[in-house]
Amino acid sequence: MPGSPEDTTEFALEAFLPYRLSVVANRASRLFARRYSEAYGLSVPEWRVLAVLGRFGGLSATGVTERTAMDKVKVSRAVRTLLDRGLLERQEDAADRRVQRLGMTPAGRALHAAIVPEARALEAALLQGLAPAERQALHALLDRLEARLGEMGAPADAEGPD
């Protein structure tokens, strides 16, 4: 029966919202990743770890995972690489010695400070084709979609399968 959930004859993947969001997000991530990799030798997960620690500081790896919505394995690899490069350091949590807090080293803070203006410029270039009201509407709509996903039980702490 046409129009019913069982009808697959008219399904256009290119018009399917989750697919379109994924395509746009993946293309933007690849563009940003190329810039971060070429200029700073960072992957997207490594940059996200630095960015979230730059904003919130002193998080555990679990806290980074929650704030970035990245897979635990990606966060763990990114943290290990950043530790090895001397951009992050671990400190024992004063209240719970089992918890290790992550913080940026002076080199990590300097790298973060260098990247942030470039990230903002790249975002501005991406949004340049939208009027200010459209940008506000886009952010509002994304907020509403994210809230709706929460209502529907979609986890916020892990990436999808891409």
Segments making up each domain of the chain, as ranges? 16-151
Q: Which residues of the chain have pLDDT under 50?
A: 160-162
Q: Are strands 88-92 and 100-104 parallel, antiparallel or unpaired?
A: antiparallel
In this predicted structure, what is the pLDDT of residue 135? 96
CB atoms under 10 Å from CB of 158, counted, come to 16
In this predicted structure, what is the pLDDT of residue 158? 54
In this predicted structure, what is the pLDDT of residue 145? 94
In this predicted structure, what is the pLDDT of residue 3? 56
In this predicted structure, what is the pLDDT of residue 161? 43
User: What topology is assigned to 16-151 in CATH?
Assistant: Arc Repressor Mutant, subunit A (1.10.10)
Cβ atoms of residues 77 and 44 within 8 Å: no
In this predicted structure, what is the pLDDT of residue 42? 93
d(CA 157, CA 69): 4
In this predicted structure, what is the pLDDT of residue 10? 85
DSSP state of 59: B
Quote the radius of gyration of the chain (alpha carbons, Å): 19
In this predicted structure, what is the pLDDT of residue 162? 34
